[in-house]
Amino acid sequence: MNQTLTRKQFDILSLLAEEKSTQSQRQLGEKTGHSLGTVNRVMQELTELQYVADGEITNAGISALEPYRAKRAIFIAAGFGSRLVPITFNTPKPLVRVHGQRIIDGLIDACLEAGINEIYIVRGYLAEQFDQLLYKYPMIKFLENPVYNEANNISSAMVARYMLSNAYVFEADLLISNPQIIKKYHYTSDFLAIKKERTDDWCFTVKDGVIVEEKVGGLDCWQMVGISYWNEEDGHKLSDDIKMTYEQPGGKERYWEQVPLVFCQKHYKVEVRECQEDDIIEIDTFRELKAIDKTYDV
């Protein structure tokens, strides 16, 4: 992708596009983390480019952001959800209700709110149950994973590998409480994560904002959240690299995100994007589900 905007221009222009009200330069500085002097200079640049007029984004500014816009969302939803037994014996985990709403609904709603209307769900276990989503979300398209029960989630990525440009990839069993973490515009490929002093979970080592290692457990690291975004260029590379990794010995046992973060790491520069502990919850076990929603505690 030809980068027509600098990083700072992007930060300010995308914020102007996403905010509903006019922002003062001080507010822009606070929200982007840039100094007042930087905001002032970049606003002048954007005004000269006619991307901003009188402090507001113009139609030309919206057009300049178009290459950075998230265009589609892929939900990895084929697995059995064994740790949520007994409830997943007859319901796929993303369709389990928490406080009356299916887990996946919150994620889909956040996508629609961000203007992402091209939505694919990769399904496998109890696949036909996902048809119920069409009543509320008629725009959904389903992708079938026929080998979900003999391969890891890389098999779902194989099914969706041509859809990954300008795309979000979601684990479909995340309970979202802050839809604002789903952004309409991204400067580069990124992975959501939570800054942690220590974790026993999957996490990243990060250097200068870029993920340099994925591992299980660590100190002073970033705990992985199963939501990532892939720009146009990286999406094209992923379609080849996923296939190559999948077809290698032991490839079917891989997790899909190990392709860009471990096995083909030199092909990518994936940034970390921070979210907070209470923005999103992964419900791993039936005990955790009961703690969140007391109706299951019978």
Q: Which of residues 3 and 215 earns the better pLDDT score?
A: 215
| Same-domain check for residues 95 and 44 | no
Residue 198, strand partner residues = 219
The whole-model pTM stands at: 0.93
The token pair that represents 186 in the structure block: 């991204």
pLDDT tens for residues 230-259? 999 999 999 999 999 999 999 999 999 999
**Count: domains in the chain:** 2
Residue 2 belongs to a domain: no
> What pLDDT, on the 0 to 100 scale, is given for residue 103?
95
User: What does pLDDT average to over the chain?
Assistant: 93
Dist CA 20 CA 17 (whole Å): 8
What's the average model confidence in pLDDT over 45-49? Answer: 93
Q: Are residues 166 and 41 in the same domain?
A: no
Is residue 276 over pLDDT 80? Answer: yes
Residues 134, 25 share a domain: no
Quick check: 135 pLDDT over 70?
yes
Q: In this structure, are 46 and 185 located in the same domain?
A: no
Mean pLDDT of 157-179: 95
> Does residue 73 share a domain with residue 63?
no
Quote the domain boundaries for residue 145.
69-296
Domain end marker among 67, 96, 118: 67
205: left (phi over 0), alpha (psi -120 to 50) or beta: beta
Same domain, 44 and 79: no
CATH (domain of 34): 1.10.10.10
Residues 35 and 157 in one domain: no
From 28, 43, 67, give the residue that closes a domain. Answer: 67
